[in-house]
Structure 1
Amino acid sequence: MAIDPVTLEILKNHCRAAAESMAFTLYRTAHSTFVKETEDFTTGLTTPEGLTFATPTELGATWFVGLNYGNVIKAIDHYDEGDIGMTNDPYSGYVCTHSPDMHIWKPVFHDGEIVCFVVGHIHNTDVGGAVPASLSRTLSEVHQEGIRIPPTKIVRRGEINQEILNVLLANVRMPEQNWGDLKAQIASVNTGERRVHEMIAKFGVETFREGIAGLLDYAEAQARDIMRELPDGRYFFADYLDEDVAGGYPCRIALTLDIHGDGCTFDFTGSDPQIEGSVNMPTGGAERHALMMVGLVYVLYSLNPRLFLNSGVCRVCTCIMPDGTIVNPRFPAAVGLRTLSVQRLQGVIIGAFSQAAQDRLPAGPASGGPIMNVNTIDNRTGRRVVASIDPITGGAGGNPREDGTEGSGANSSFLKNTPVEINEAEVPIKILRYGLARDSGGPGKHRGGMATELRFEAQAPNTRITARNRDRSRFTSWGMLGGRAGSQSRFLLNPGTDREENLGNTDILKIGPGDVVHIGSGGAGGWGDPLERDPEAVLTDVKRHMVSAGSAERDYGVVIAGGTVEAAATAVLRARLAAGRAEGGFFDFGPERTAYEAEWTEGNYTALTELLAGLPVHWRFFVKHRIFEAVDALPPERRRGDGSEVRDSYAQVVGRYPQLAALL
């Protein structure tokens, strides 16, 4: 018998409160800055089969609403009361998505039967591997990204599995920090177990069991109602990552969104092959893998903020992910910087949906700024410090109603900044600036959210910096419906001196005392024609040093003199700017991407996708580069954009490598 709607609503709130109690326990007892300040963690409740049916809304990361723990739960053949499972291996069940993320799960028993699991993860600052903080775009295989623990019991009948713990702690750079965070995780799931027993005592075990299924169905029904509001059709969108290798080419994520009735399909055909770097996304090709669903959840929640967030939401979508591509790589591809690629993927999904709901969704979210990690020695104590000092995020895209959130918005808003005082107390650096970057938000009727920038000085020799997730150094976030693209990201060493160096997408850096690092994210895209922006809003931005006077005139057509808007001069300037510009498209991708896609057209990418798909996976990345080199060398008169130059170049590459030709 189905549970009645009133009881289901009450149970829903209790389940969410249980997940939030777990989150507060973890948040208050964690050791590392990245957990207790940045809040890169999750908690939740799953069905006995592993489907997440409740998550917090107040604390932690927002990525794993649809996470299915089923594969790792099944990897352990038997559970007793007091057991806790653990894994951080991206290729064991495809629950963990890179090695620093330690997932744990605990069965909750009632009368000898498992009624649910309480689960969660934290991002460890370091799990060993080739580089401090374990992640770098220079790494080429998962073995370099730190210790990997397949699904196993870290706690057996309430007792720590000391052998596994010893192996873990022997392979990390700050074992006391990892152990402290793990104890916080264990406390969190113990809190969740207590809360579940309280619910069973209140509602009864049968109502609790029926309610779990009801909550998944409830979220699915809400999501399908949202989908029915959108027009059926096929909507294409693509965007690019800065490739990992030095001198590399853009790495493309392409999506064809097919909306049909109360559901949709994500077809990622046209996305680039898995690359010899660490931005691959480990999904195992699962049709609703959590990483692929984050953007969907963000879109649906934006369209209806009353949406209950659990795995049921994801039932409205299925994915097509070609094997051996960036969205479905084969072992042992490196996956550590999947954060960067998933953020870009989220923007791609938003861009596709925005064509179906243009009056309800924002322009492109900012990106390109890293999560900064420092590995150094404390001059006072001689103690080694490995710490995350800040996420350098950008704002949200402008939307139909308002400007984008400044500095930390859209798909990165769950990453909280660490106060300067805490960073300087815990890490031997001196912070010189931490704030918003002027003129970084894309101009628009509703301006894009601004970029964040950080400038700090090293205090000790051999200070190693890991700036993971660096991107947007070439292509920028996109503007929409007349709004303009946001700014590029920046990464400079010793800015303003004769030793200034542009570090580009470098993410591993060694500096010494007195060296200064300046890093800034990209800015978000604007929404709507900037010439329609209220001149007084432009004046306010100028007074707040968010927009320069030069940008006010150049981008918004607003003339400011003596601290006020010159109304007559503004009207004349706006009329002149409007008359002199070309007709714009639905999106503004910025001049760099526009120039790139004039040569790398959809016709060329269609041919490239078809040809690479016919090769063995381990040849695809190599051949892609050889084709790009050959096309780049063509004179302008031979570039037709219809795919023929790609096919000709491919034939040359195959002819050059008999080892490849023998495989075809």
Structure 2
Amino acid sequence: MKFDKSELQIFANYCVAAAESMAYTLVRTAHSTFVKETEDFSCALASVDGLTFASPRTFGATWYVGLDYGPVIRSLTDYQPGDVCMTNDPYSGFVATHTPDVVMWKPVFYEGEIICFVAGHIHNTDMGGAVPASLSRTLTEIHQEGIRFPPTRIVDKGELNETLLSWMMCNVRAPEQNIGDMKAQIACLTTGERRVLEIVERFGVDAFKAGIGQLLDYSESQSRAVAKTIPDGRYFFAEYVDEDAVGGKPMRIALTLTVDDGLLQFDFSGSDPQLTSSLNVPTGGHPRHALLLVGLNYVLYSLNPEIFLNAGMLRIATCEMPVGSVLNPVEPAAVGMRSLTCVVVQAAVFGAFAQALPDRMPACPASSVCLLNVKTTDTSGRTIMASIGPVGGGAGGSSAGDGSDASGANMAFLRNTPVEINEAEVPIRIQEYGLVADSGGAGQYRGGLAIVMEFKVFAPNTLVTARNRDRTLFGSWGIKGGRAGRTSLFVRNPRTADQDILGNTDLVACQPGDVIRLEGNGGGGYGAPFRRTVEAVERDVRRGYVSRQEARERYGVVYEDGRVNAAATAALRADMAEGPVEANAFFDYGPNRSAHEAVWTRERYVALCQCLETVSVGWRFFLKHQMFDRLAERIAEGEPIDGVQIVFDLFAELKAQFPALAAQQARIKQVA
């Protein structure tokens, strides 16, 4: 059966409504704030092959609309009615990409035949392991990140596997919360199964099965039509994580985007090697892995909001990521903080598309959100383990207007947890929760403002886990004359003699009375700030979004005696318009990135990658750090640095220092 366009839209609406019903069941029955408030979960209808063809539009995280469940579905056989299967192992099919994400799928039978699957994931607040919440930059191998379950049946022909649940509960810090969330997840799949069968009864089973393929095909045609509006060419962009480990070096994601008549190739060669920290993204080399193409989802949807959000939209894209790189690590690499790297991948994708479509793409969003968890005790001595919500930043400014404040923009639109809920469920007091003045990148269209959260703890041995701490060093870039957004701030006991600047620390031990303050980073600005209307700057000043000092220094708006001095403003703005133009005027990266790239230029990074590719995966992270340190020492000592040759010279020194490295390199070359 072939649906016409209007019939296909009706069928799509029914399928999306089924996924929405799944999500509503989950929100209403989950136990943890991270699921019922933050909504870090996904729900999906998937084809027999595992391709997502419908997802919720108003609930849950937005990263998974193109997810391919096929690898985990095919890992089990002999499905029976009533089965529910699960895994949280990042290396079993590369679908559950860190241990707290429990992925479940359920076959939907009609007259003895599997016609589709209902599926989804929830992020459990804790899955055991070395640290509360299971995730930290300090972890170096997957075994430290909590208990793992390879694909298995949690419900077998309608019977709950109590033994499997008991194993999990013995290994997690908040077992009642986990078991409540997982049973809510099973209920959500049951809702999905019921809704699918209602659709089948309405349309007929043959039309239902045919409609799945047509939904995927139509989304592909829509995305191809959008891609054909992008000028053919090759567009390079690099983006950075502040630190690749605790106290580490900047970690680089490199992307070469090739656009060829509506087809897109994402080549991530030149990205950093696999890390000895938890920032690796486990993709298994899947050419269309959902986590690498979230940025593409956002771009396509921004350019055509009518596009069907399903796996078909990703068919126009292929990804290349070398084995042993940060985007294709080999076991037992730690992967718990992969979401931090994923948002940096998205920022790299946005940077490439901004060059291809400079008038249609915005400046960089915050591309960072810190997920705060607190492990503490209440007045009765009971252990409390809870997420208190995401603290992120704003969207980038664009030709259409200012970036939205506090939205996160590309952070899956995770929702905040209300202050009242946090204080009711966790023994803390939130002292400030709002927007950070002057955090948005200055521009004709301002970058969105960041969030600040400040809270006090009351129990000894309280541990705050600040997952995904980043953007302390590198801000979100502005474009077309817009300025980079302000970087983030993390501090213990602010405004006191004991103030402790925490940087990108993600595990903070606290004692009674300690105060934690976290400020996110702002989105980048779009267009020259002196072109922003004086009225818009005045409005921002009245609202407390922009200080008077910032208004003068960035926007050229002069306040005297509490009012705008029109003559002084006009003169200052005229001086700004005649000021020097930077060599790379399209992007403003902020001072820290500019300083870093003055040393580690694109050419030197190419040479670094060439050196590292000649050795085994286990040596690469160590050698990168050695070469960074030695080059910094040469520069500090005032030695002349000769182009890219310095990189090869440093590598030769290391081979001379470590004979095992030279011998191993010779063996690799012989095998090759």
Question: Which AA in structure 2 matches 1:182?
Answer: M
- Paired position in structure 2 for 1:546: 545
- Paired position in structure 2 for 1:650: 651
- Paired position in structure 1 for 2:339: 339
Preserved CA contact (<8 Å) 2:369 2:411: no
Question: Which AA in structure 2 matches 1:651?
Answer: A
Cα deviations by residue, 1:407-440 (Å, 9 ceiling, x for unpaired): 1231025111111111111101111101111111
Secondary structure of the equivalent of 2:634? coil
Secondary structure of the equivalent of 1:392? strand
- Paired position in structure 2 for 1:51: 51
- Paired position in structure 1 for 2:472: 473
Question: Which AA in structure 2 matches 1:597?
Answer: E
- Paired position in structure 2 for 1:574: 573
- Paired position in structure 1 for 2:608: 608
Preserved CA contact (<8 Å) 2:459 2:512: yes
Cα deviations by residue, 1:200-255 (Å, 9 ceiling, x for unpaired): 11000000000000000010000000000110000011111022434311000010
| 1:331 positional shift | 0.5
Q: CA separation in 2, counterparts of 1:203 and 1:246?
A: 55
Question: Which AA in structure 2 matches 1:65?
Answer: V
- Paired position in structure 1 for 2:295: 295
Pairing of 1:175-194 with structure 2 (within 5 A): 175-194=175-194
- Paired position in structure 2 for 1:555: 554
Q: CA separation in 2, counterparts of 1:369 and 1:208?
A: 39
Secondary structure of the equivalent of 2:154? strand
Cα deviations by residue, 1:496-527 (Å, 9 ceiling, x for unpaired): 11111111111111111111111111111000
Q: TM-score, length-normalised on structure 1?
A: 0.98
Secondary structure of the equivalent of 2:308? coil
Question: Which AA in structure 1 matches 2:485?
Answer: G
| 1:555 positional shift | 0.3
Pairing of 1:140-179 with structure 2 (within 5 A): 140-179=140-179
Secondary structure of the equivalent of 1:467? strand
- Paired position in structure 2 for 1:78: 78
| 1:637 positional shift | 5.1
Pairing of 1:69-468 with structure 2 (within 5 A): 69-379=69-379, 381-412=380-411, 414-468=413-467
Preserved CA contact (<8 Å) 1:480 1:528: yes
Preserved CA contact (<8 Å) 2:244 2:250: no
- Paired position in structure 1 for 2:506: 507
Preserved CA contact (<8 Å) 1:88 1:150: yes
Q: CA separation in 2, counterparts of 1:330 and 1:637?
A: 38
Question: Which AA in structure 2 matches 1:227?
Answer: A
Q: CA separation in 2, counterparts of 1:170 and 1:591?
A: 49
Q: CA separation in 1, counterparts of 2:227 and 2:612?
A: 34
Preserved CA contact (<8 Å) 2:472 2:504: yes
Preserved CA contact (<8 Å) 1:369 1:489: no
Q: CA separation in 2, counterparts of 1:643 and 1:342?
A: 29
| 1:293 positional shift | 1.2
Secondary structure of the equivalent of 2:23? helix
Preserved CA contact (<8 Å) 1:539 1:564: no
- Paired position in structure 1 for 2:668: none
Q: CA separation in 2, counterparts of 1:644 and 1:408?
A: 44
Preserved CA contact (<8 Å) 2:368 2:408: no
Q: CA separation in 1, counterparts of 2:237 and 2:579?
A: 29
Q: CA separation in 1, counterparts of 2:136 and 2:45?
A: 32
Q: CA separation in 2, counterparts of 1:17 and 1:318?
A: 30
Q: CA separation in 1, counterparts of 2:537 and 2:261?
A: 42
Cα deviations by residue, 1:427-470 (Å, 9 ceiling, x for unpaired): 01111101111111000000001111111111111100100100
- Paired position in structure 1 for 2:641: 639
Question: Which AA in structure 2 matches 1:600?
Answer: W
Question: Which AA in structure 2 matches 1:106?
Answer: K
Matched, 1:522 2:524: no
Q: CA separation in 2, counterparts of 1:243 and 1:594?
A: 16
| 1:183 positional shift | 0.9
Question: Which AA in structure 2 matches 1:554?
Answer: E
Q: Report the CA distance shift for 1:368/1:116 in structure 2 as closer, same or farther (over 3 A).
A: closer
Preserved CA contact (<8 Å) 1:66 1:311: yes
| 1:368 positional shift | 4.1
Q: CA separation in 1, counterparts of 2:411 and 2:32?
A: 20
Question: Which AA in structure 2 matches 1:405?
Answer: S
Q: CA separation in 1, counterparts of 2:441 and 2:358?
A: 17
Cα deviations by residue, 1:7-55 (Å, 9 ceiling, x for unpaired): 2221111001101111111111110000000010000100011000001
Preserved CA contact (<8 Å) 1:364 1:477: yes
Preserved CA contact (<8 Å) 2:347 2:367: no
Cα deviations by residue, 1:266-285 (Å, 9 ceiling, x for unpaired): 00011000111111000001
Secondary structure of the equivalent of 2:656? helix
Preserved CA contact (<8 Å) 1:367 1:523: no
- Paired position in structure 2 for 1:38: 38
Q: CA separation in 2, counterparts of 1:247 and 1:108?
A: 49
- Paired position in structure 1 for 2:669: none
| 1:564 positional shift | 3.5
Secondary structure of the equivalent of 1:71? helix
Question: Which AA in structure 2 matches 1:533?
Answer: R
Cα deviations by residue, 1:527-549 (Å, 9 ceiling, x for unpaired): 01101001111111111111110
Q: CA separation in 1, counterparts of 2:96 and 2:587?
A: 35
Preserved CA contact (<8 Å) 1:638 1:645: no
Q: CA separation in 1, counterparts of 2:368 and 2:513?
A: 26
Preserved CA contact (<8 Å) 2:428 2:458: yes
Q: CA separation in 1, counterparts of 2:517 and 2:426?
A: 17
| 1:565 positional shift | 2.5
Secondary structure of the equivalent of 1:634? helix
Secondary structure of the equivalent of 2:356? coil
Question: Which AA in structure 2 matches 1:271?
Answer: S
Secondary structure of the equivalent of 2:25? helix
Contiguous gaps of at least 5 residues in structure 2 = 666-672
Q: CA separation in 1, counterparts of 2:148 and 2:421?
A: 31
- Paired position in structure 1 for 2:64: 64
Q: CA separation in 2, counterparts of 1:656 and 1:435?
A: 53
Stretch deviating more after TM superposition (83-92 or 578-587): 578-587
| 1:562 positional shift | 4.3
Q: CA separation in 1, counterparts of 2:160 and 2:246?
A: 45
Question: Which AA in structure 1 matches 2:29?
Answer: T
Q: CA separation in 2, counterparts of 1:563 and 1:412?
A: 38
Matched, 1:660 2:661: yes
Secondary structure of the equivalent of 2:578? helix
CA RMSD of aligned residues (A): 1.1
| 1:382 positional shift | 2.0
- Paired position in structure 2 for 1:483: 482
- Paired position in structure 1 for 2:670: none
Question: Which AA in structure 1 matches 2:218?
Answer: Y
Cα deviations by residue, 1:273-310 (Å, 9 ceiling, x for unpaired): 01111110000011001111111101100111111100
Cα deviations by residue, 1:324-351 (Å, 9 ceiling, x for unpaired): 1111111110000011000111111011
Preserved CA contact (<8 Å) 1:235 1:355: yes
Q: CA separation in 1, counterparts of 2:40 and 2:139?
A: 22
Question: Which AA in structure 1 matches 2:641?
Answer: R
Q: CA separation in 2, counterparts of 1:631 and 1:638?
A: 11
Secondary structure of the equivalent of 1:537? helix
Secondary structure of the equivalent of 1:213? helix
Preserved CA contact (<8 Å) 1:130 1:144: yes
Q: CA separation in 1, counterparts of 2:352 and 2:415?
A: 28
Q: CA separation in 2, counterparts of 1:352 and 1:190?
A: 42
